[in-house]
Amino acid sequence: DGGITQSPKYLFRKEGQNVTLSCEQNLNHDAMYWYRQDPGQGLRLIYYSQIVNDFQKGDIAEGYSVSREKKESFPLTVTSAQKNPTAFYLCASSLQPVSSSYEQYFGPGTRLTVT
């Protein structure tokens, strides 16, 4: 079955620690995205990648970093510089980036709690 997997589903970390969230897709999609969801707010874009070895900052990239070494994988690192890291993180992919013709497919999400 094709789809997007994110792991783990729940993640707990102490303040000051970096943490990496996994996102893998087997849809052969070029574009991948990371969103953050907070209660009462719409999804906000953290980073996106249109092709391997390339990625762009989204609207709230501060305190986050990404890599795109393989087409299938787009891990997100939440660094200690992120002031409010506790949130629900969603990974998505689409066949082509920033286009009206292609749907986005979402992963199941990772709920990160930092104390």
Partner 1 sequence: KNEVEQSPQNLTAQEGEFITINCSYSVGISALHWLQQHPGGGIVSLFMLSSGKKKHGRLIATINIQEKHSSLHITASHPRDSAVYICAVRSGVGGGADGLTFGKGTHLIIQP
Q: Which chain residues interact with partner 1 by CB under 8 A?
A: 33, 40-45, 48, 56-59, 88, 90, 92, 97-98, 100-101, 103-109, 111
User: What is the closest distance, in whole angstroms, from the C-beta atom of residue 53 to partner 1 in the complex?
Assistant: 18
Per the CB < 8 A criterion, the answer to whether 27 and 2 are in contact is yes
Rounded to a whole number of angstroms, the minimum distance from the CB of residue 16 to partner 1 is: 26
| Integer Cα distance of 17 and 37 in angstroms | 21
Q: How far is the CB of 84 from partner 1 (least distance, A)?
A: 18
What's the start-to-end Cα distance of the chain, in Å? 36
Nearer to partner 1, 11 or 80 (CB): 11
Give 51 or 98: the residue with its C-beta nearer to partner 1. Answer: 98
Can you say whether residue 93 is alpha, beta or left, with left for phi > 0 and alpha for psi between -120 and 50 degrees? beta
Cβ closest to partner 1, residue 2 vs residue 40: 40
Backbone angles phi, psi at 81, to 5 degrees: -80, -15
Q: Which of 55, 48, 53, 50 is nearest to 33 (CA)?
A: 48
Nearest approach, Cβ of residue 92 and partner 1 (Å): 8
| Nearest to partner 1 of 100, 115 (CB atom) | 100
